[in-house]
Structure 1
Amino acid sequence: MNFNKHLEDIKTYEAGKPIELVVREYGIEPKDIIKLASNENPCGCSPKVMDAVGTILSKMALYPDDSMINLKASLAARYSVESQNVIIGSGSDQVIEFLIHAKAHAGSKILMNSITFAMYEIYSKHVGAQVIRTTSQEHNMDEFYKLYLEEKPEIIFICTPNNPTGDALDAQKIYDFLAKIDNDTLVVVDAAYMEYALYKDAKKGINVKELIQKHSNVIYLGTFSKAYGLGGMRVGYGVADAKVIKELSKLRPPFNITTLSLEAATVALSDEEFVQKSVALNLEQMKRYEEFAKEQKIDIINSYTNFVTFCFDSRFNSSKIATALLQKGMIVRDLSSYQKNAIRVTVGTHEQNSRFFELFKILLQS
């Protein structure tokens, strides 16, 4: 059987290994497994969300509100824009898929950082587009602009804070870059971890209203999977000029968000106290990772997210370390598939992090 030829060069995205699989493969009791691989919120979600979802379980037999009026209105209010400036996706990665299918085609060029979110490339290859990458590990906007002039890409992806490395750009660098880009080039500012970055450094924060008012070719992406603790609900969103949203909406399938997900996201957005508690805990625990890296003389990328990236020299092998940790019930993310000798570790609770330091230190000294 023949399939679309564009699929030949696509590697399947590998999500973080689930606890259930580790139980089956290694015979470890679920209670003894700690998952620090998928950047989930160790605080869970807001108690208000759990209460709200419980009250609408009887509606599961009904299709959700496809207008998503309440969630769109809440997001519009958050960013001081209009509901027509908002699109909701099953995770922000679905919005990324809409963007690429709306703008790119076979022969198009899509510019992104050398190391960044894998789905940019995967969705680009869905349509036969050519992926152009920088050489710099961190987002170097001078190099981005040079490649923009040389390659004339249809779409540019800026991931800040960047996944899977954790570094982030000052907002002013993004504004300066956008001022030089033509209006027909779509620029995607993927800010899935912005709540963490903004708490750590106000200079990383992006004024979304100003962004889309000044630049009709820019879309800002956010998610409820990280700081809001709703990874299992799969809700993401894009904020852009109404004309952009109108075109993207043509690609959105009906009822792409469940009734429970809509309710959860809407209530989560109203509980700012929970979010602030989560990001504060994250920064507090992040400092422990920084101290640990310094003590063990391991390079660590300054992170503005809820994860840290340990970078190894030739003494260590990231795949071997990740596997050894896994055998002890500690799930982390090996970054060798990104051609990087590094592991990414989600910042967990105090107890989870202490267990990681204990196991990791043993491995480093063995």
Structure 2
Amino acid sequence: MKFNKTLDKIKTYEAGKPIELVVREFGIEPDQVVKLASNENPLGTSPKVAEAIRANADKAHLYPDDSMFELKASLSRRFGVPEESLIIGAGSDQILEFISRAKLNEESSVLMSRVTFAMYSIYALQQGARILRTEDYRHRPDEFIPMMQAHRPDVVFLCTPNNPTGDATSREDLFAIIEAADPETLVVVDGAYMEYAAAKDPAYRIDPAEILRYPNAVYLGTFSKAYGLGGMRVGYGIARPEIIQALMKLRPPFNITTLSLAAAIAANEDEAFVQKSLQIHRQELPRYEAYARERGFEYIESYTNFITWLFDEERNSSEIADALLRRGVIVRDLASYGMNALRITIGTPEQNDRLFSAMDEVLG
């Protein structure tokens, strides 16, 4: 059977391995598996979110409010942006799909860093667009600006903090790149991990309202990380109303569920849970940095809820990841990104103890 020829250029996205897979393949009890591969919130979900889900469970047979009025009003208050500048997606990556469908075709090009979120290129390739990448994984103006001037890409993806590396782009550098873009280039600022960067250093904090200064930029955020709703799939985009209106034409009706909507509304109002999550992260991240130094390998300074450990030729990230998996510890191998590295979610103290103990066994 023949399919769209653009599919020949696309590799299937590789998600983090689920706990169920480890249970099936290695016979390890579920409560003995530690998942540190997908950057989920190790504290789980806010009690207020759990309460909202229970309170709305008897509405699961009803379609959600497709206007998403209450969630948009809550986000509007949180960020100080007009409600008409908001769009809600089934995860922020659904909005990435809308953007690619709205802007790209076989004559288009997109620009991104050398190592960044895989779905940028996957969605672009689905539209037949050409992928342009910088030499560095960091979002450097001295690389992005000359390439924008030379190629005039239709879309530029700026992921800060960057996934899967964990570095972040300063406010100064980010705005320099946006201001250098052609007016017809849509600049996408993906802030999925922004809560962590903002808490670490104000120089890396990007407020979505600031993006509204630009008629050709859009900010993406998610409830999957700091807000603990990875399983509910809710994200949002913030841009000038004319951009939102174009993207809304691609949004299917009822694109998030009744329970997801209730959960996101409750999560957005529970700042105390987010602050507790950030506190645990600040407490535990230095342990990963110290472990890398003690074991003699490098790491990328993290502005996210994960850290990227870098290995030399004497250590192989794929072999280490497999050995950890057999010990019930799931991490993300970055070999598919061309890196001899592991991306590890910063877990609870107990989860991190398990990771360090398993690493000691693996490294010997």
Q: TM-score if structure 1 supplies the norm length? A: 0.98
Secondary structure at 1:17 match in 2: coil
1:345 matched residue in structure 2? 344
For 2:178 and 2:328, the matched residues in 1 are separated by 45
For 1:314 and 1:137, the matched residues in 2 are separated by 20
Secondary structure at 1:237 match in 2: strand
2:14 matched residue in structure 1? 14
For 2:286 and 2:60, the matched residues in 1 are separated by 42
For 1:37 and 1:7, the matched residues in 2 are separated by 27
1:25 matched residue in structure 2? 25
Secondary structure at 1:233 match in 2: coil
1:160 matched residue in structure 2? 160
- Tell me how large the CA RMSD over aligned residues is: 0.8
CA-to-aligned-CA distance 1:188-238 (integer Å, 9 cap, x gap): 0000000011111111111321221x2010000000000000000000010
Residues 199, 280 of structure 1: 8 Å contact kept: no
Q: Which segments of 5 or more consecutive residues in structure 2 lack a partner in the other structure?
A: none
Residues 112, 132 of structure 1: 8 Å contact kept: yes
1:151 matched residue in structure 2? 151
Amino acid at match of 1:259: T
- Displacement after TM superposition at 1:179 (Å): 1.7
Equivalent residues in 2 for 1:57-136, closer than 5 Å: 57-136=57-136
Residues 183, 215 of structure 1: 8 Å contact kept: no
For 1:136 and 1:56, the matched residues in 2 are separated by 47
Amino acid at match of 1:203: A
Amino acid at match of 1:254: P
- Displacement after TM superposition at 1:150 (Å): 1.1
1:171 equivalent to 2:178? Answer no
1:4 matched residue in structure 2? 4
Amino acid at match of 1:194: M
Secondary structure at 1:136 match in 2: coil
For 2:171 and 2:314, the matched residues in 1 are separated by 37
* Identical counterparts, % of pairs: 55
Residues 168, 304 of structure 1: 8 Å contact kept: yes
- Displacement after TM superposition at 1:178 (Å): 1.6
CA-to-aligned-CA distance 1:27-76 (integer Å, 9 cap, x gap): 11111110000000001111011011101111011111110001111111
- Displacement after TM superposition at 1:110 (Å): 0.2
For 2:227 and 2:348, the matched residues in 1 are separated by 16
Equivalent residues in 2 for 1:210-289, closer than 5 Å: 210-212=210-212, 214-289=213-288
1:183 matched residue in structure 2? 183
For 2:262 and 2:172, the matched residues in 1 are separated by 35
For 2:79 and 2:172, the matched residues in 1 are separated by 18
Count of matched residue pairs: 364
Secondary structure at 1:179 match in 2: helix
1:322 matched residue in structure 2? 321
Equivalent residues in 2 for 1:300-311, closer than 5 Å: 300-311=299-310
CA-to-aligned-CA distance 1:171-195 (integer Å, 9 cap, x gap): 1211122222221100000000000
Q: 4+ residue runs of structure 1 moved beyond 4 angstroms?
A: none
Residues 223, 264 of structure 2: 8 Å contact kept: yes
For 1:211 and 1:37, the matched residues in 2 are separated by 30
Amino acid at match of 2:272: E
Q: Which segments of 5 or more consecutive residues in structure 1 lack a partner in the other structure?
A: none
2:208 matched residue in structure 1? 208
For 2:270 and 2:121, the matched residues in 1 are separated by 34
Secondary structure at 2:165 match in 1: coil
Residues 91, 233 of structure 2: 8 Å contact kept: yes
- Displacement after TM superposition at 1:362 (Å): 2.2
Residues 140, 173 of structure 2: 8 Å contact kept: no
- Displacement after TM superposition at 1:137 (Å): 2.2
1:332 matched residue in structure 2? 331
For 2:363 and 2:149, the matched residues in 1 are separated by 45
Residues 313, 341 of structure 1: 8 Å contact kept: yes
For 1:45 and 1:197, the matched residues in 2 are separated by 21
For 1:128 and 1:176, the matched residues in 2 are separated by 29
For 2:115 and 2:10, the matched residues in 1 are separated by 17
Residues 41, 277 of structure 2: 8 Å contact kept: yes
Amino acid at match of 1:126: Q
For 2:360 and 2:121, the matched residues in 1 are separated by 35
1:295 matched residue in structure 2? 294
Residues 60, 259 of structure 1: 8 Å contact kept: yes
Amino acid at match of 1:337: S
Amino acid at match of 2:255: N
